[in-house]
């Protein structure tokens, strides 16, 4: 069952806002290691993607996942009312991460897989095809909750983003 709604949770304006230095705040947030995904979707017959590391699992029952999209991104304006896919990148997909972060790579045509409701990358570490479940406004981002309709996972290693740089996994245990 779909529960797509738009909600705003703006804090009271009387609350003092912390005067963070944006670069320092971003640096602190970068201490949290993440994977790297490309969120893909179709709009007016064309296929689009945006590199996103703000991906998290939310719920097992129902199966829900979440991404946070900057309101200034094309994805935030075109994606919310349609199926989308979250493609988790493997460690050899740095070009793909850059391609969908607004830095087109020459010589690496994007291969698409059109076997489900949303276009997804032909190659990935894992993929989650979603229908939109809910949208929440959150400051300069929107939180997009997706209901997972289909998923796949491979045995490759994930691409990692940590301290502002792409990294490879290394085992500590």
Binding positions for ligand FMN, rule: CB under 6 A: 36, 48, 50-54, 68-70, 73-75, 101-102, 161
- Cβ of residue 36: shortest distance to ligand FMN, in angstroms? 5
DSSP code for 101: T
Nearer to ligand FMN, 7 or 71 (CB): 71
Nearer to ligand FMN, 27 or 61 (CB): 27
Nearer to ligand FMN, 143 or 173 (CB): 143
- Cβ of residue 101: shortest distance to ligand FMN, in angstroms? 4
What is the Cα–Cα distance from 77 to 60, expressed in whole angstroms? 27
- Cβ of residue 82: shortest distance to ligand FMN, in angstroms? 14
Nearer to ligand FMN, 51 or 87 (CB): 51
What is the Cα–Cα distance from 88 to 19, expressed in whole angstroms? 34
What is the Cα–Cα distance from 17 to 28, expressed in whole angstroms? 18
What is the Cα–Cα distance from 147 to 18, expressed in whole angstroms? 34
Nearer to ligand FMN, 61 or 158 (CB): 158
- Cβ of residue 144: shortest distance to ligand FMN, in angstroms? 10
Q: Going by C-beta distance under 8 Å and a sequence separation of 6 or more, which residues neighbour residue 133?
A: 2, 3, 4, 62, 64, 145, 146, 147
- Cβ of residue 68: shortest distance to ligand FMN, in angstroms? 5
* Inter-residue contact 118 to 129 (CB < 8 Å): yes
The rounded Cα 25 to chain-centroid distance in angstroms is: 20
- Locate tokens 């894992």: which residue? 126
């Amino acid at each position: 069952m779909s529960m797509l709604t738009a909600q705003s949770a703006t804090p009271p304006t009387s609350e003092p806002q912390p005067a963070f230095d944006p670069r320092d705040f971003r640096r602190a947030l970068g201490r949290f290691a993440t994977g790297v995904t490309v969120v893909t979707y179709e709009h007016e017959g064309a296929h689009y993607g945006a590199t996103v590391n703000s991906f998290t699992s939310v719920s097992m029952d129902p199966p829900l996942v979440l991404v946070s999209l900057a309101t200034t991104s094309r994805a935030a304006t075109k994606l919310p009312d349609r199926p989308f896919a979250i493609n988790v990148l493997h460690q050899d997909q740095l070009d793909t991460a850059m391609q969908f972060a607004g830095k087109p790579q020459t010589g690496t045509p994007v291969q698409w897989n059109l076997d489900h409701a949303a276009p997804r990358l032909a190659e990935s570490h894992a993929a989650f095809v979603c229908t939109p479940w809910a949208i929440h406004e959150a400051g300069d981002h929107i939180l997009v909750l997706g209901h997972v309709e289909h998923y796949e996972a491979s045995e490759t290693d994930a691409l990692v983003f940590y301290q502002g740089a792409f990294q490879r996994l290394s085992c500590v245990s």
